[in-house]
Structure 1
Amino acid sequence: MRMKIALLGAEGTLARLLLEQAQAEGIRLVPVTLPDNADPQALAEWLEPWRGGALVDLRHADWPALLGEPEVAALDEWQQSCEGLIDTCAAQDCLLLWPSSARVFDGGKPTLWSEKDLPQPVGRLGALQAALEQRLCNAGGRHLILRLSWLLDPAPQAQFGQLLAGLRSGQPLQLAEEWRGNPTPLADAARVLLAMLKQSDCGADLSGIYHYGSSEASSWISLAKVLAQELLARGQIDADPQILPVAFETQPQAVFEPRNAALSCKRITHVFGIKPRAWRTQLAELVKP
């Protein structure tokens, strides 16, 4: 790859998977950290080696996968650093690849969300993501915004990790039947990020907002049932767990997650040639002990 690529947030799981996939293809991504002094001049000097290249910002990429929302102070700090970074990347002709999420939508639409739908966030994180998206689009620089649906992170503090733990516990689970999205393993999201970088290396300016989610859309309760069968097949549980459907509004996710988080992926397929992979075939890797 001709383009120089820097990576922020290399300590996260999504970043680690991206680094592994890039290394397997002989592509070099250089982990970097922001300078302590993040004033405009310091940022410009720090970013100078990446002028004309690309910066992948995966700091806090795991936030949308967690159960709950970050503290207000953490969101404010992230907003300030992102705003400075967005302006500096635009001034330095540095492509900024930045993940967002379906939390920018309110979930009221019954069909798939497309890139043409206007953001109407339901929570603090979604509101900040929508604001940063707008700033990035208005900055005038090269940029790629990748909105992701449900990220399947098996970490204990993540929503998917807690679902796994609940199924393994053998206790009855109350799950929202009306909550819909695209279950997307982190490794699949990393694959898409790398593919976008590879296409961008060809020199075309493909700036804009894109959606990705593994196929097909599912309810959270349907995901749980398929996951339970995978655990049964691997001997990690002894019997079908008791899953009780409840209204979405009774679940903690209703405060910060859209009821419908299912995304249309037509644009990313048309522009980048990236086809969604089926999440069902990827579950086995996620349930390894």
Structure 2
Amino acid sequence: MKVLVFGQTGQVARALASAGPARGIAVQTLDRTRADLSDPAACAAAVTATDADAVINAAAWTAVDAAEAQEDAAHVVNADSPGAIARACAARGLPVVHISTDYVFDGGAGPAWTPDAPTGPMGAYGRTKLAGERAVLDSGAVAVVLRTAWVFDGGGKSFMTTMLRLSETRDTVGVVADQIGGPTPAAAIADACLTIAARLADGSGRPDLGQTGVHHFSGAPDVSWADFARAIMVTAGRSTTIVDITTADYPTPARRPANSRLDCSSLTAAYGIVRPDWQAALTRIIQETRT
């Protein structure tokens, strides 16, 4: 089996490139020189030309704050291009897995968000990602939209690497304690995407069993950003103290969800994929970075 992946340098795209061969799946990643998401036609052309059995879109405009001032540009990357990719998949009969976000919700208090919960993005990033979901689902392709949250790994720029960098020069770091979600290892997202893509490609993914459409995937247990930061410091053996602050103490151009908890039960029912233990993943990642 071969999978075409939009994205190359992002956390999930890197994890897909690493995980695929171990599962006997050839993974071809596309960087901006080969498929620029600011050019929907180029993205569609990449699908038209591929010999892959399935497509995964792991690329996006993820600069949440910058999207507030550049929503039109973010919309092209997060909505127009995913729609073009999915329509090209439909024309070729290829399944597509599209990664989305908890930012499509309003972040209000309540239980974990289910896939069918009413959406209500608070800002430009969420609006453009929701538009992308709808474009993919309306394309006619056999498609799964996989919403996730709080992605981390040991490379590049993530919350984890930022905390470790700050711990090198600071005795204390203030971290928001009134936002709750499930930290999600990039490697676990990659494994979930490959499992879904393989099932859809071999024809065993069935809409009548709820295996297409929208699903959620995030790590367990749910925690605050501050508690996640504490776990990072303890696991890495850092002495930096995490100080709880509120969202109001750390204003940003884009509003962040207070409730990023995702109900992932539909994914377990459809594919047998369970929420990953982010604490175990954190330990493994830090051990790997030390070797």
TM range (shorter): 0.7 to 0.9
- 2:201 corresponds to which residue? 201
Separation in 2, partners of 1:228, 1:6: 36
Match among 4, 8, 11 for residue 10 of structure 1: 8
Separation in 1, partners of 2:171, 2:120: 36
Can you give the 5+ residue segments of structure 1 that lack an aligned partner in the other structure?
none
| 1:130, distance to aligned residue in structure 2 (A) | 0.6
Residues 40-59 of structure 1 correspond to what in structure 2 (within 5 A)?
46-50=46-50, 53-59=53-59
Q: Percent identity?
A: 22
Counterpart AA for 2:198: K
Change (3 A) 1:113 1:45: closer
Aligned residue pairs total 277
**SS of the counterpart of 1:169?**
coil
**SS of the counterpart of 2:28?**
strand
TM-score by length of 1: 0.84
Change (3 A) 1:92 1:176: same
Counterpart AA for 2:12: L
Counterpart AA for 1:225: R
- Kindly provide the CA deviation profile for residues 64-117 of structure 1, in whole angstroms up to 9, marking residues without a partner as x: xx6744461641441432332232222332211110011111110322111011
Query: For the Cα contact (< 8 Å) 1:181–1:260, is it kept in 2?
Result: yes
Change (3 A) 1:253 1:278: farther
- 1:23 corresponds to which residue? 21
Separation in 1, partners of 2:159, 2:74: 20
Measured on the aligned residues, the alpha-carbon RMSD in Å equals 2.8
| 1:174, distance to aligned residue in structure 2 (A) | 1.4
- 1:165 corresponds to which residue? 165
Residues 253-268 of structure 1 correspond to what in structure 2 (within 5 A)?
255-268=254-267
| 1:189, distance to aligned residue in structure 2 (A) | 1.3
Residues 197-276 of structure 1 correspond to what in structure 2 (within 5 A)?
197-203=197-203, 204-205=205-206, 206-232=211-237, 237=238, 239=239, 241-252=240-251, 255-276=254-275
Counterpart AA for 2:128: L
Separation in 1, partners of 2:153, 2:181: 15
**SS of the counterpart of 2:109?**
coil
- 1:109 corresponds to which residue? 109
Can you give the 5+ residue segments of structure 2 that lack an aligned partner in the other structure?
none
**SS of the counterpart of 1:100?**
strand
